[in-house]
Structure 1
Amino acid sequence: MIQVDLNSIAIDARGLPVVLLKPSVPRPDLRVFLPIWIGGQEATAIMVALEGAVLERPMSYDLMARLLDAMDARVEKVAVTKLEGGTFFAEITLDTLTGQQVIDARPSDSIALALRVHAPIFVAEEVLREAGIQEGELTDAEEEEQVEQFSEFLDTVDPDDFRG
Structure 2
Amino acid sequence: MRDLDVLGVRVEMPTNQPIVLLRERDGDRYLPVWIGAAEAAAIAFAQQGVTPPRPLTHDLLRDVIAGLGHQLAEVRIVELRDNVFYASLVFAEGVQVSSRTSDAIALALRTDVPIRCEDAVIDEAGVVVTEDQDDEVERFREFLDQVSAEDFDTPGGPSEPERRES
Q: TM-score range by the shorter chain?
A: 0.7 to 0.9
2:150 counterpart residue number: 154
Match of 1:75 among 62, 72, 75: 72
1:17-56 correspondence to structure 2 within 5 Å: 17-26=18-27, 31-56=28-53
| RMSD (CA atoms) | 2.2
CA pair 139-154 structure 1, distance change in 2 beyond 3 A: farther
Cα distance in 1, alignment partners of residues 50 and 127 from structure 2: 30
- 1:82–1:90 contact (8 Å) kept in structure 2: yes
| 4+ residue segments displaced more than 6 Å | none
* Number of the residue aligned with 2:111: 117
Moved more, 40-49 or 135-144: 135-144
Aligned in 2, Cα 1:153/1:81: closer, same or farther, shift over 3 Å? Answer: same
* TM-score for both structures, normalised by structure 2: 0.82
Distance 1:115 1:35 in 2: 17
The answer to whether structure 1 residue 128 and structure 2 residue 125 are counterparts is: no
Q: Which residue type is aligned with residue 56 of structure 1?
A: P
Letter of the 2:128 counterpart: Q
CA distance 1:82–1:123, shift in 2 (3 Å): same
1:138 Cα deviation from its structure 2 partner: 4.1
The share of aligned pairs that are identical, in percent, is 28
CA distance in 1, matches of 2:54, 2:141: 29
TM-score under structure 1 normalisation? Answer: 0.83
Gaps spanning 5+ residues in structure 1: where? 159-164
Structure 2: runs of 5 or more not aligned: 155-166
Do the aligned partners of 1:8 and 1:20 also contact (CA within 8 Å) in 2?
A: yes
Shift of 1:114: 0.4
1:12 aligns with 12
* Counterpart residue type for residue 147 of structure 2: S
Alpha-carbon shift at residue 56 of structure 1 (Å)? 0.9
